[in-house]
Structure 1
């Protein structure tokens, strides 16, 4: 029957291949945050001379952009330790994105589950067998991605203008944000379908083992 009607098998193949697309969307966003981090810190170093104070007049003197709340051509606010907080936020995003990817792929690669365990993100995976697994963590990961979308999308409206005129960081940031946002519902569906298939397979395997054990016990008697 499966050979005559291969649609379910083809559908599951497409669903599994979708995770490559979902991973690519996360990689795009990760590249965006790497670009933002590099461009922010380089521009700040070149214009602010490592100033970390809270006097906006000093910032204005350095960049010549009087009254602006951000250091010119960056996403760094002009306040005490702005570069520190911005850099920490950038690094945090570069941690959240791989965690979201690991949550998508933990069912396929055991090291992804290990990474999630190392970061104490128990809500992004399920440690039980596939028979007992529930899908709450799938939606938790979706909300994490929505946070990443919101944080990344906010970068498209602030002014990062690198020295390299061939790189339009805000535009690339917008593309990456839209790709990730569009992938979320399809990834939820794919995740549930894959896990449900694995639940059924594991249940059948357990049932077959139980039947074999019962037959062996009956033969022994």
Structure 2
């Protein structure tokens, strides 16, 4: 096996393995970080709002200001929940939506490896984030890589916005500096986007060329069998 690995194709194979490792570890890891951020935000928002406002879902600004003691803030203390009607409901819905969007982005990065990722994308009506006509790669086009990149940019913007609104721990020694973690998560994801596009391009191109070679070998074998 080692002998077959060495040759003209050695460096392309090594580069392809590096690209796959990048996607498996870095690209997916940079999406897992925002996913963790949004889970933390959901928990912190829900707990802090409940501790401060109880079950109040009204639209009376005076009630919010009296209960959280900060009349100058547009958000309930230490949350990203705005002081208006149904604020926690909308905030929770947005948090859950971000979980789904991030899972879609992860599946769009891994669809070429795991069939369940393709199935998840189909269930979310996100077919445009992958391309497998007749379950082959030989006719692949790469426009969907850019679409997935823009989806990640949206995740960056949405997650980064959490760094600047609410979520200021009131504890003297908070266990987790959520705004700082949000910032790290967004910077890591933003930095990984262009390199992930390049890595996926080479991975998919390699699979495309493999299918071409397999089809050519099958055609040659069929032609030889007819002689």
TM, length-normalised to structure 2: 0.92
Count of residues in Structure 1 that have an aligned counterpart in Structure 2: 218
**Equivalent position to 2:214, from 183, 197, 205:** 205
Deviates more, 1:61-70 or 1:140-149: 61-70
CA offset at residue 13 of structure 1? 1.2
User: What is the distance in 1 between the residues matched to 2:175 and 2:117?
Assistant: 36
SS in 2 for 1:43: helix
User: What is the distance in 2 between the residues matched to 1:127 and 1:88?
Assistant: 32
Runs of 4+ deviating beyond 6 Å = none
SS in 2 for 1:156: coil
Alignment correspondent of 2:160: 153
CA offset at residue 64 of structure 1? 0.9
Q: Deviations over 1:129-181 (max 9, x none)?
A: 10011111111110000000000000011121345712100001100100000
Q: Deviations over 1:72-98 (max 9, x none)?
A: 111110011111111100000001111
For 1:126-137, list aligned pairs within 5 A. 126-128=131-133, 129-137=136-144
Alignment correspondent of 2:121: 116
The alignment yields a C-alpha RMSD, in angstroms, of: 1.4
Alignment correspondent of 2:106: 101
Alignment correspondent of 1:14: 18
User: What is the distance in 2 between the residues matched to 1:121 and 1:151?
Assistant: 19
User: What is the distance in 2 between the residues matched to 1:89 and 1:124?
Assistant: 21
Alignment correspondent of 2:33: 28
For 1:55-204, list aligned pairs within 5 A. 55-128=60-133, 129-162=136-169, 163=171, 165-204=174-213
User: What is the distance in 1 between the residues matched to 2:161 and 2:49?
Assistant: 20
